[in-house]
Every structure is written in structure tokens, then in C-alpha cells.
A = this chain, B = another copy of it.
């Protein structure tokens, strides 16, 4: 019995399942101590040129890489950053993730991506999972974390950074684009173009971002004495935009519409055309986000742009801010937006 077990053990050590090369292996081949190997791969450690060379050579032939897991075990820092997102294929989210993952890598951090799409019971289990990896911070771009799990993160010294999300009463950094300002810009522009029969298009999703944009826009319009028509159902997709146009324009002869998302706006434009409306002559449309497709020829959508690089930079600032125990100073940034004038709003008279 033991003999068989021993044999198996040897096999394992030789070429079996456990075949990651360790510093021990390298040390043996190079004829030095394991410490020497460790120091070779630790910047600023004291090793003679001779030993360093021999170690590097041995490491190369064996294909050795430092085990980050073991290294992180000591420093309690994995330079991993957890990212929670959903609907990664939506243009705006995709750009956000693209920029963020690039910036993280540039700063020497890695990106642990968890897709929240199938999280029926909220994103709490996802955050718990991320926490197990001793991440440096958690960036939440989708879903709304309950404050209980956020407290756990803080208790473990992990910052939670919400991007275009909000959690009340919790110790999180929050970075949101200026939805209110953007909605006001849109409202102002439509009124300035002389629109009097105005609509707002959102989806059925009740995200804080959507609500803020819709409510702020409605308020501005109401101040001008106009009661806006509202559409708020379906998913946040191009197809919903079409449906909104067909549903709204069948019963209302609108001359100005604000869509809380560019994707909705593009669908709305196509739907409106199908309903026989000419843009911008009969109908002005404004979107929000400035996704790449909005600049495409058939659309030339006038929209509110949030600067992607500002957003990314703010996230990185939050991540890199030191934690001073419990009394950490949180980042609460509201990023400015601007109106990008293209061709879907009637020029000012």
C-alpha cells in the first residue's frame, strides 16, 4: 500500500498533476539556495551578478514564474481589482470596460472580471467571491450592492467604487456623470429649438442613472409649462427604441424627444422614420452617452457626452487612494458632461 502511494507521489512530483515549477526546483538546478532565487526576482534585493545570471538561466530552462498567490499571501495585496459588470456587449459598457482594463494594466494591476448577468439573487455572492481573492478594490458597474456586503468589504479594508450607481448610507466611493446637468442641457436645447410637444424615452430598468435623467428632464420641461409624455418599459436596447417610437408617435404628434440612452435613441430614430417622421424637420431627438454608433452616417445623433477618460481616471484615483484604517476619505465625483451637436435637432432659429 505505502509503496504504491509512494510511487504515485513520486510520479506527481516528476510530471504529474502538480507540475508548476517552484523556486526550489530552480535553486536546485542553479546550485544555490531558494532565497537566492527569491531575491533574484525581487527588485532591489541583494544578489551577486553571478548568482543572478545562473538563476535566470535555470529559470528560463525550467519555465519558472513566481507564484503570485504565495507572494500575495505575505503582503496581503494581490494587485487584483475586482470588476462587476453586466451586459458587456452593450456599446457603452464595452467601452467602459475596455478603457478600465487597459488603464489597470498600465498601472500594474490586473482585472478580475465577474459578469453579473445571471445574478438572480443580486450581486452579493459575486462580491463575496471577489473578496476571497484579496483584491485591492472592487469596481461595481452594474447591480446595486446592499450596504451589508459593502460593510464587509470595508471591514476587510477593500474599497468599493460605484460607477454610475448609488448606495445610500454606505462607505463607498461613487463616480457618476452629471445626469442632472446632462438632462438639463437636453431639455434646454429642445426648448430652444422650439419644441412644444415633448417626450422622454427610457426602458423598464429602474437604475438610478435612468431615473435621474428622466426626472431631471421632466422637471425642466415642466418648468416651461409643458407636460412630457413618458415611455418606460422593455429592456435598454435598440429594439426598445423602435417600439417606443411606434408606441408614442402613433398616439402623440411629438416634435421633441429625449432618450436616456443613445442605444434607445438610435432605435427611436429608425422607428420614427418608419412612422414617416422627418428628423430634424418634424421631430428633434437627443440621446445620452455618445456611443460610437451615434456618429454613424444614418444617425448623426445629437447627444450628451460623458468623457470616458475622465471616468476611468476617477476610478483609478479612487483605487490608488490609500486607506487609513476606518477614517478613509471617500471619493465622490460628479463628472461634467457636454452637449455634442450633430444633426438630429433643428438648428436654432
Contacts and interface: CB of A to CB of B under 8 A. Distances in A.
Interface string A14-29: 0111111100000000
A200 B97 CA distance: 32
A102 B89 contact: no
Nearest to A105: B115
3 smallest CB-CB distances across A and B, nearest first, come from: A94-B94, A88-B98, A298-B298
B132 A21 contact: no
A325 B105 CA distance: 32
Contacts of A78: 69
A177 B249 CA distance: 43
Contacts of A16: 325
A238 B114 contact: no
A341 interface: no
Interface of A: 15-21, 62-63, 65-70, 72-73, 76, 78, 80, 83, 87-91, 94-95, 97-98, 101-102, 104-106, 110-115, 117-118, 126, 128-129, 131-134, 151-152, 155-157, 238, 242, 266, 270, 273-274, 292-293, 296-298, 323, 325-326
A21 B134 CA distance: 11
Contacts of A83: 113
Nearest to A325: B15
A112 B81 CA distance: 10
Pick from A19, A293, A325 the residue with the most CB of B within 10 Å: A19
Contacts of A115: 98, 101-102, 104-105, 111
